[in-house]
Amino acid sequence: MTSTHEIDWTGRVLRLRVEGPAQGGEFVARHEGRVVFCRGGITGEVVDVRVDGDPGRSFCRGTVQRVVEASADRIETYCPAAAAGAGCCDWSHIRAEAARGFSGRILAEQAGRIGRITVPGESVPVEVPAGDGAVTGWRTVARWVSGPDGVPGVRRARSRELVTQPCVQADPRLLEAVRAAAVGPHREILGVLGDDGEVHLARRPLTDQAPRGRDRRSGHAAATRARARHSRAEPWETVAGPSTVVRRVGGHAWRLPIDAFWQAHRSAAGHYAGLVGTAVTGAPGSSPPPGWTSRPTRGARWSNPPGPHWGRWRRPWAPTSRRVPCSRGSSRSSRSPRETGTRPTDRTWWSWIRRGAGRGSPR
């Protein structure tokens, strides 16, 4: 048997029959006993795949170069950036209905393998996201990177190279604002569309996020270290619009920092709020213990969905005395909402701690 350290298929073109979907927008194929994760394929197709990366173990990764036998679910790729090789819109070459079916298969597989949950059939039913069937222009939070010429773009899949063709996920108003703004070279750009329709742009110097692994097998650890370096990047500088963003859910409104976490899909926050509100309505134990009141543990993403019991269910009970808010996120989020003029954000988890007692349950 050939030892794994001698295997390297990088650069080879393999003719494969595509099997099921995998996590991360890829599909599974097999060749000579190894798994090949391929981008751009669809279950049942026969394709020519060029191997882009091979860690030398039981699998490698590649990109479809040519479709020999096409699936009936294949359509013309609707994202110019993905068509040019960017790591976005992985399934933009698949009919939306079929893509939801593949997502359901992944969920069913994960539920059985990780959660030991038996799912009837081979797929979990996946509905139209948040009741919003748009496949373009749905993203209200997006990031870009500018190259030496200052032109913004997105990263090529599994690469540091930039693709300047537009990704269609972002709302057109964000794309227009980013293209018009002079952000400068080697910048990371954050674009946010508030629920009031205002566009917010911020930038910061681009940090070195390139993995620094010792060899091709250490990619996962190197990527983790790269993300840690990125988390220590410089603060955002506002380029367009105010530094706070208006967010609304269930008749409530907040002003949050521009880099505060929020669901990127324009309909997701309200959809999740409605689901949670429906789930807890009429549930037992909806009243707090005597002398206790509510405090937030999750941030803006789950805040204030409609429903008669939501005001009592949105937060776990905690004593009112000697407790202060804290967050593992930005320094602005770690201060009191009363101090910053904002409500807690969902950029990180929220907890309420006893002064001097550390994190923990009420005492």
Of the candidates 52, 43, 51, 57, the one whose C-alpha atom is nearest the C-alpha of residue 15 is 51
Q: According to CATH, where is 2.40.50.140 located in the chain?
A: 4-131
The pair of three-digit structure tokens given for residue 14, joined into one six-digit string: 């393999």
Q: d(Cα 236, Cα 215) in Å, to the nearest integer? A: 33
The H or E element containing residue 353 is strand 350-354
Q: What is the pLDDT of residue 266?
A: 94
Instruction: Write the burial class of residue 191 (CB in 10 Å: 0-12 exposed, 13-18 middle, 19+ buried).
Output: buried
Nearest-angstrom CA–CA distance, 245 and 279: 29
The model's pLDDT over 163-214, given as tens digits with 9 standing for 90+, comes to 999 999 999 999 999 999 989 999 999 999 999 999 999 999 987 655 555 4
Cα three-residue angle 356-335-199, rounded to 5 degrees: 160
CATH superfamily ID and name for 4-131: Nucleic acid-binding proteins (2.40.50.140)
Q: Which of 151, 146, 150, 152 is nearest to 170 (CA)?
A: 152
Q: Are 347 and 329 in contact (CB under 8 A)?
A: yes
* Residue 267 and residue 301 in contact, taking contact as beta carbons nearer than 8 Å: no
Biggest alpha carbon distance in the chain?
A: 69
pLDDT under 50 in the chain at which residues?
1-4, 214, 218, 289, 291-331, 333-363
Q: Which 3-state string (H, E, C) describes 177-229?
A: HHHHCCCCCCEEEEEEECCCCCEEEEEEECCCCCCCCCCHHHHHHHHHHHHHH
